[in-house]
Amino acid sequence: MGSISIIPSLKGSKMPGNVHDFMNQIGISDGNFLKVIKDCMQYLEQHGISPADLSVRHVVDIEEPGHTYLRVLFVLPMSDVSDVIKLQTQFYTDVYRDIITQHLGEKKSQLESFRRRVNIVFDIEAS
């Protein structure tokens, strides 16, 4: 069972402990991880979603030993799931790789590790 922690603020570089440990494990600095998250938020803002209206949750999922991954869940203030799916698809197609390449440099092993083990998910609050 994973544990959930909500980012108190994206201004500092303090990460919830479990996320910090996980990033260390895959060799990504907290600062670079926060830059990726901020860019994701910027992408959402460009699509009319104010950062003030969304919450970001981190879930560290341990499926089985050796298969831990981080789910970064952006909970969006939208009512239509199909809009969220479109946004998510466009994000992964057009933006995600560029964002992580920009912040993690050209270290191919780091990039692959990040892409394989950090899932960025857009969803809506279940009512």
Query: Is the backbone of residue 66 left (phi > 0), alpha (psi -120 to 50) or beta?
Result: left
DSSP H or E run through 7: none
Q: How many domains does the chain have?
A: 1
CATH number of the structural domain spanning residue 39: 3.30.300
Instruction: Of 12-21, 56-65, 85-94, give the lowest mean pLDDT range.
Output: 12-21
Question: pTM (2 decimals)?
Answer: 0.77
Cβ(75)–Cβ(54) below 8 Å: yes
Residue range of the domain that includes 106: 3-124
The pLDDT of residue 9: 43
Residue-averaged pLDDT of the chain:
79
- The pLDDT, as a whole number, for residue 2 is 39
